[in-house]
Each structure stands twice: as structure tokens, then as C-alpha cells.
Amino acid sequence: MTWQSCASTLRIFHAEKENMKPNFTRCCCCLMAILMLLLPSLTLSEDSANEAVYTAALARLNATSMTERSAAIDQLAAVKAPRAIVILQALLDGHLFNLILENKLVIGTEIDAGYKLIDAKSGQDLGIAAREATQKINLNNSLRVSLRKTLGRLQLNANEAKARMNAVQAIAKDIDSESLALLRERLVVEKDVGVQDEIRLVLGLEQLNSTDKTERLGAIDLLKDQANQEVVNRLNALQDQDTEGQFAETDVDVRNYAKAALVKINARLKVYAAIETLFFGLSLGAVLVLAAIGLAITFGVMGIINMAHGELMMLGAYTTYVMQQLMPDHLGWALILSIPAAFVISALVGIAIERGIIRFLYGRPLETLLATFGVSLFLQQTVRSIFSPLNRSVASPEWMSGTWQINDFLSLTWNRFYILVFCFLVFALLLQILKRTRLGLEVRAVAQNRTMAKAMGIPTARVDALTFGLGSGIAGIAGVALSQITNVGPNLGQAYIVDSFMVVVFGGVGNLWGTLLAGFSLGIANKLLEPVAGAVLAKILVLIFIILFIQKRPRGLFPQKGRAAES
């Protein structure tokens, strides 16, 4: 629409005014028509002004003077351009460049051949350019601090809670009165609890520096529910009468209030410590359950004291190592594929042991103990000959690395968390196999009464081989899990064989639910005793407890009807 159109409309209005009596409704309609004609022109004018400021700001950003760049940053922060924040963030991260031949601002991502470029202004893909074809737009320290604060203010109203959280943290690095006012305004309308807590933390820490006693008391109120190390340090400094310098507190009421807040915070810290201990106890229990659950099948059903069970776990761990050597660029898939591979390899070795040695020794448990001990030495030496005696490191995929940082005082490691979940999955799958498959039915029949099962036509020799193979395969899967928390070496299984037998005997020979409960109980007990007695003495105390317990209940927590339990 043009001004000529507006003038034409005005002439129509005047003509109507001369020829007709004044009509209020008609006048209003004409006025609305005029405004509708004017509005697009005004909007277009405003957009053109923004575009001009945006273009000028980009040109100044490309200047060599830091003063010019500072002014350009202020212009970009003020202009309503969708890509302004993207450009400023690229500048802060060191990804903003000048394409020398075209004198154009670009955002570059480093690759082997140089930089993958996009146009800073439009976002258009510009392909790949050599490093010498670009010049980085640099910042000095003061400008970098100012830019971080500016970005924080711009992102404080972002739609994503994570962006607002980052904005609050960026503002906190260089706080001033204007920033404090922005945070107070944001706190009133903020819906996300995490962002609210972060704003309260920043406001509270800054408010502790106030000269007004009432404000300091209010700051303690804001901070007493925060799980933050800096809060604890500041409150300790406030309530300590010997503190000198910036954080010295002379008012008795403030010191006492800080002391009361610390009591409340310390109570929460004890809860966090208990949660962390419980988690590590459960994760250790998961390892013990995985190590013992295969042994519970072979020992409970077949009455075999298998001293080579630890070496079958070792084979599973080495399978994981080999898979990672074959797929070095896909650690996640290598780990996932290691699970069925380790099961098959350990199961086949277990069946070979049962068919080649153990089937000739049924009914002679001490001889099976000696025979399987010899097998364990043979497997260890075989692995040493193939892989050398040195430990091998198995890398964790990215999704299993690092920790889940809940707050400054509570963090959970991802690898142990996934092992805990994996333990429950393996247990549930094994339970379904024993409850819902023909093999499971035959295994339970042989465990309860071998002679009757044989009389009913169940091939007990085949069941023995498959049962031993199943228990050995589960041991191999346990080795995959162990490879994520410890080094893989020829002696890996020796560290868990005694614990596995303790879990099986304590839970009840052959009872899977008893093995699960016993594994987690012993894992938690170990972690509870370690801070008090130390790691070695904690194991000794647990062993003494099991010995005393077995004296009272020789069949364990949940006795299983069957050959091994009755003997």
C-alpha cells in the first residue's frame, strides 16, 4: 500500500462527509480503513530500519578496532534479528570468521580440510574453505566478559529451560545491579524449578554481601535449601567468629541464623551420603548377582563345585575386549554385540568342560572341585599365551561414561547405573527361561528328583550339559559387565569366585530369588562397613557373618528342594 492509496481514501471520506449527514459508524469504519492502510507501511519501515541496523552491526563487527566490535555487539543485542544470538554465541565460542576474499562474516566448524562455513547473516551453507582463506574475529578479555553477560541477558527469556539456566549462570560470572534487577524480574515469572533455584542461588550469594542486616538474613533464607558447595562455604564463614576479611560477620543474629541454616543443610548432606552409599552398595550387589547367578544354576541343580566359574567370566570380559578391537569406532555397538557373543563363547566352553570332564565325576564333589580348579589354571594360562599377562583396558561408550550430577553433593556414575539395570534384565530373562521353556521345566524336574525325572523320559545327560552351558553363558555375560568397571586380565575371575559362592550359599543353593536378595544384601553391607572398618576388614566381617548364619540355617535364606540342598 502507498500514500497515494491513503490520500484516495481520505478524499472518499470527505466526499461522503459533504453528501451525507454525519454518521458515527461510517466515520469509525473510515478511520479503521486508514489505519489498516498505514500499518503495513509503518511495519515495513520498522523492518527496514532493523535490517539496516543489523547490516551495519555486522560490518562494525568485522572491524579491527575492539571499540567498534564492542559497539557492534551492543547493536546486535538491541536489534530484533533472529540470528543475532547465533552470531554472538559463535563470536564468544571463537567460531566467527571473516571470509577474506569476500569480506563476509561466516560461522565456521573445524574439520580436517579446513572449516565448514555458513553465512553468519543468512545461515546459508557456503561449503568448505581452507584455514588460510579465513580470519578469526578475536575478542579481548574484557569484551569476552561483557559479551557473556550480554548473551545471558538475551537468553534469559528463551523458550528452553536449559538456555535460561545457561543464561543465569553466564550472568552470575559478572554480576551487577542491572543484572540483579533482571534476575529478580525473571524469578517472578519463571516456571522451571531448576532455573528458579539457580536464580535464588545467585541472588542469595550476592545478597550476603549487603550492608543491610535484614537483607543478609533474607539471603540466608534463600540459600538454606540449596545443595551447593559455595553456599556451605559462605555460611561457614558467616557463622565462624574467627573469619576475617570480606566475609567477616559481626552481627550475632546473622551468625546464629547461618549456623541454624548449616544444621539444616548438613542434615540433607547426610541423606545424600546415605543415598550415594546405597547406590554403590546396589551396584556392587548387581555385580555379585551377575557373578553368582550362573553358579547358582550349576551348583544348585547339578551339585557341581565349579572353581572355573571365574575364568568363564574372564572369557566374557576378553570377548568384550576383542569386539572393541574389531569395532574401534563403534564402542556402543561393540559392547551390545559382546553380550550375545560372550554368552555363546562361555556357554560352549562350559558344555565342553561338562562333557569332557564333569560328567565322569557326578556324585564326587571334592573331585569336581579339584578338576575344575585345574581347568581354571588351564584357561588362565591359555589367555596369557594369547593376550599376554598384562591387563587390557576396555573403553566405555559415551553413554556409559561420566556421572549423573544431581547436585554438588550427590552424583551417580552412569556405568554402575547401567550395570544395575542390566542385572535386573538378565535376572528377569533367566527367570522366564526357567519358568516358561521346556529346558526350564526339565531343569527344575532334574533339580527336584533326578531319578524320577529320568524315569519319566527326561534326558538327564543332555539337561546337565545344557544347564552347565546356561550357567557358563550367564558367567560370560557377567564378564561383559565387569569389563566396564575394572581392567580385563587373566586373574579377573579370581577376585569374584569366593564372593559368588558366598552369595549362593547365603541365599539358598539353587534359588534365584535367594541369590538376588543375598547379592544385594552383601553388596550394601560391604559398602556400609567400608567407611568404618576399611575394605579388607569389611569383607572379613561379612564372611564371619555368613559363617555364623550358615551355622543356624545350613540351607540359606531360601532353601531349595533338590539334590544339592538335601545333601
Helices (H), 120-228: 141-155, 161-172, 177-189, 193-207, 213-223
Looking at 298-411, list the stretches that DSSP marks H as alpha helix, in order from N- to C-terminal side: 309-326, 331-356, 365-387
Write down the H helix ranges in 62-140: 66-78, 84-93
pLDDT per position as a tens digit, 526-553: 888 888 887 788 888 888 888 888 778 8
pLDDT in tens, 478-511: 999 988 888 888 888 888 888 888 888 888 776 7
- What is the chain's alpha carbon radius of gyration, rounded to the nearest angstrom? 36
Hunting for cell 544339592 — which residue is that?
564
Share of the chain above pLDDT 70, in %: 86
Lookup: cell for 54: 543489523
Cell numbers representing residue 82 in the block? 533472529
- pLDDT for 21: 45
DSSP annotation of 175 reads -
- List pLDDT tens digits, range 279-320: 999 988 898 898 888 888 887 667 778 888 889 999 999 999
For residue 50, the model assigns a pLDDT of 63
The full set of domain ranges for the chain reads 142-250, 272-400+410-566
Average of per-residue pLDDT values in the chain = 79
508-528 tens-digit pLDDT: 776 788 888 988 988 898 888
**What does the pLDDT read at residue 384?**
92
- In 3D space, the residue among 486, 502, 504, 491 whose CA is nearest the CA of residue 376 turns out to be 491
Is 39's pLDDT higher than 70? Answer: no
For residue 539, what pLDDT is reported? Answer: 81
pLDDT exceeds cutoff 70 at 250: no
137, pLDDT greater than 70: yes
State the pLDDT confidence band at 450, using cuts at 50, 70 and 90: confident
The pLDDT of residue 425 is 93
Evaluated on CA atoms 324, 330, 336, 337, the torsion sign reads negative
Q: What is the CATH topology of the domain spanning 272-400+410-566?
A: ABC transporter involved in vitamin B12 uptake, BtuC (1.10.3470)
Strand positions, DSSP E, 391-506: 403-407, 410-413
- 299 vs 223, 287, 446, 511, 522, CA distance in Å? 56, 19, 13, 10, 19
CB 516 within 8 A of CB 427: yes
**Residue 348 pLDDT > 90:** yes
Contact 472, 351 (CB under 8 A): yes
**Which has more pLDDT, 239 or 371?**
371
Band the pLDDT of 263: cuts 50, 70, 90. Answer: confident
Residue in the structure block whose three cell numbers are 559463535: 90
Q: How confident is the model at residue 4 (pLDDT cuts 50, 70, 90)?
A: very low
Q: Which residues contact 496 (CB under 8 A, 6 or more apart)?
A: 287, 288, 291, 310, 313, 482
Kindly report the length of the chain. 567
Using left for φ > 0, alpha for ψ between -120 and 50, and beta otherwise, residue 155 falls in alpha
Q: Please say if the pLDDT value at position 340 is more than 90.
A: yes
Cβ-contact 102, 129 below 8 angstroms: no
More confident residue, 470 or 539: 470
